[in-house]
Amino acid sequence: MKNTFEDLKRTIATLRGPDGCPWDKKQTHESLIKCLQNESQELIDAIHNKDDENMKEELGDVLLQVLMHAQIAQEEGKFTIEDVMAYLDEKLHRRHPHVFGDHAKAATPEEALNLWREMKQKERAGK
């Protein structure tokens, strides 16, 4: 059986649903901060240790945190994981005009980073 992103979303919704896990149902954005910090640090440690197997596990744990926060926000009527993904996709396109736009190609990683920073400043100035 191949698990999909939709399967994972349903699992998270079930964990927080009426017949779900009491611990998961109790969580809030604030109560999950420490978990997000811990899981992020464990991923960083796996990267430093060049431990691919552990890195795969820790990436999953970080993704769990993202999905839990998105599920909580959806339950509160604020936004969904689809909103998060759409925002990220739009931002990646905006901040990579050298790939997705009509801007001249970036020849070096430094040029690409400078373009990213330039686009980020323009976005912030427009807010």
Q: What is the DSSP string of the chain?
A: ----HHHHHHHHHHHHSTTS-HHHHH--TTTTHHHHHHHHHHHHHHHHTT-HHHHHHHHHHHHHHHHHHHHHHHHTTS--HHHHHHHHHHHHHHT-HHHHSSSPPP-SHHHHHHHHHHHHHHHHHH-
Angle between helices 52-75 and 81-94 (to 10 degrees): 110
Residue 127 scores a pLDDT above 80: no
Residue 1 scores a pLDDT above 90: no
Enter the pTM of the model. 0.89
Task: State which amino acid sits at residue 127.
Answer: K
Residue 95 scores a pLDDT above 70: yes
Tokens of 72: 């909580």
* CATH T-level topology, domain 5-79: Helix Hairpins (1.10.287)
Residue 104 scores a pLDDT above 80: no
- The answer to whether 61 touches 80, Cβ cutoff 8 Å, is no
Separation of alpha carbons 72 and 92, rounded Å:
25
State the first-to-last Cα distance of the chain, in angstroms, to the nearest integer: 45
Confidence of residue 11 (pLDDT cuts 50, 70, 90): very high
What is residue 2's predicted lDDT score, i.e. its pLDDT?
A: 77
Separation of alpha carbons 54 and 49, rounded Å:
9
Tell me the pLDDT tens digit for each residue of 34-51.
999 999 999 999 999 999
**Mean pLDDT throughout 76-93?**
97
- The answer to whether 70 touches 81, Cβ cutoff 8 Å, is yes
